[in-house]
Amino acid sequence: MSATKSVNGYQIKQLKDGQWWLVSAQGENVAGPFASEAMAVEVASVFEDSAGHASARRSPKA
């Protein structure tokens, strides 16, 4: 496994299955899998999560 890269606010990580994923700061896989690190970096450079992360949409528990 290579070192984790950060692109456009997302981490590029290779998971145990050998595939590459865009991972949020909260640790959620937000895009992938990709066959190569270069492909994941290219997608991350233009990726916009317009829906927001699921954890950010949850209401605070009372």
Report whether pLDDT(61) > 80. no
Instruction: List, for residues 6-54, the tens digit of each pLDDT value.
Output: 898 899 999 888 999 999 988 898 999 999 999 999 999 998 877 655 4
The pLDDT score that the predictor gives to residue 52 is 59
Nearest to 27 by CA among 40, 15, 39, 43: 15
pLDDT value at residue 57: 46
pTM: 0.69
